[in-house]
Amino acid sequence: MITISSVQDMKNTINSYKMKGKSIGFVPTMGFLHEGHLSLVAQSVIQCDITVMSIFVNPLQFGPGEDFERYPRDIERDRRLAEEAGVDLLFYPDVTELYPSEPSVKVMAVDRTDVLCGASRPGHFDGVVTVLSILFNIVDPDKSFFGQKDAQQVAVVEGLAKSLHFPTEIIPVETVREEDGLAKSSRNVYLSDQERKEAPAIYQALQLSSKVYLQSGRMAAIDHFKNELLSVSGELDYVEILTYPELQVPSESDTRLIIAAAVRFERARLIDNIIFTTEEEPECSEQ
């Protein structure tokens, strides 16, 4: 595995692979890798000739009072895990490499952003689409892999690639979970022992509530989720059922839906979701 920190060096390396007819798979991350990230790498290794991973804690997607400074970082551990997983190129730029000066152009996400996490994090997805626009231009990937755990981000990124005609295919990859159902997340390390015991209730409540939707409708399912979470010490940030990937309030004719939730514990905010259809049992295995 080759580690590259320079934008120009990365462009030159990608160009050399492209000239040889190699396909490029891209896994953008903020580091502190876990099995969820490595599952994205596994898919890229299967589908592409060369796998590129970026590790960059993007300051633009953290709002005031959020955890940018204490976001977990361990580059040596990440480098080892990336190499073992099959990453060919690790792009590890400094913030001044991607943002060398005050930008003269800004990228804004104007759709699919005013619900779920975007409702309480204004500007967050602007930061996401800005850094991804930069990274897509540098890496020029044929396919880009994103975890379905952050389903709203996947929906926004699909919109970004389509709207700006980036020649990369967005590949969602199902959520990797602990044995008790808790979605893998870099922020799980901040849970206390008691919170870690409670956290799997989020996924369990999503599963049950998606079935309630099929029987009794949207509001009954949302109420059921809230009741299921009463035993959890964390504060419910939101629970919502929307169309996917449009993220609109569903009508009776909409068949592909998402039930998504965020729960704020003392030092960690956890998100999770299930995508399901009204035509069959919930597609829990997709997540």
CA distance linking residue 230 with residue 236, whole number of Å: 9
Determine the 3-state secondary structure of 107 from DSSP: coil
Q: Are 58 and 127 in contact (CB under 8 A)?
A: yes
H/E segment holding residue 151: helix 151-163
Establish whether 37 is a catalytic residue: yes
CA distance linking residue 30 with residue 72, whole number of Å: 9
Binding-site residues for ATP: 30-37, 147-150, 176, 184-187
Quick one: which of 102, 103, 122, 104 has its CA closest to 113? 122
**Total residues belonging to the chain:** 287
CA distance linking residue 269 with residue 25, whole number of Å: 30
Catalytic residue among 37, 124, 165, 224: 37
Quickly list DSSP for 48-103. -SEEEEEE---GGG--TTSSTTTS---HHHHHHHHHHHT-SEEE---HHHH-SS--
H/E segment holding residue 7: helix 7-19
CA distance linking residue 266 with residue 270, whole number of Å: 11
CA distance linking residue 180 with residue 47, whole number of Å: 30
Residue type, position 285, single letter: S
Binding-site residues: 30-37, 61, 147-150, 153, 176, 184-187
Q: Tokens for 97?
A: 């490499």
Quick one: which of 143, 139, 44 has its CA closest to 91? 139
Binding-site residues for beta-alanine: 61
Binding-site residues for (R)-pantoate: 61, 153
Burial of 280 (0-12, 13-18, 19+ CB in 10 A): exposed
**Which residues are identified as catalytic?**
37
